[in-house]
Amino acid sequence: MTKPFGTAAVVIIGIIALAFGLFLSVSLGAANIHLHTVWEAVFHFDSQQTSHQIIRELRLPRTVGAALVGAFLAVSGAIMQGMTRNALASPEIMGVTNGSAFAIAIAFAFFPGQSS
């Protein structure tokens, strides 16, 4: 197996697994919804169906947000490992953990009534 073919295969399999995981994440919940209904809600939205509204307004934004947060964390971890040239780099090395704790303390001080 050549290197470009293997890389392309991993990328394609990863995209397929991500798409399946996203659809599965949207379909599972307090009210289980079939994958076919998820497909219809994404590509043929009908505002009269409650399941389509649940998918479009609640589950899909959370699922896409979770996928984006995971992607951003992966990229930031790769950048941190590349900058420090340390395969075991952690957020404490660059002060990310302390900075985020400081931001949370400031938010609690200035916005005490906000929910988490």
Q: List Cβ neighbours of 83 (8 Å cut-off, separation of 6 or more).
A: 89, 94
Low-confidence ranges of the chain (pLDDT < 50): none
Same domain, 67 and 91: no
pLDDT tens, position by position, 35-50: 899 889 989 999 899 8
Which pLDDT does position 97 carry in this prediction?
79
Which pTM value belongs to this model?
Answer: 0.70
Which residues form the domain of 94? Answer: 87-116
Which pLDDT does position 2 carry in this prediction?
63
For residues 101 and 24, what is the distance between their CA atoms, to the nearest angstrom?
34
Same domain, 101 and 55: no
| Number of domains comprising the chain | 2
Same domain, 61 and 96: no
Same domain, 18 and 66: yes
Same domain, 17 and 40: yes
Same domain, 109 and 77: no
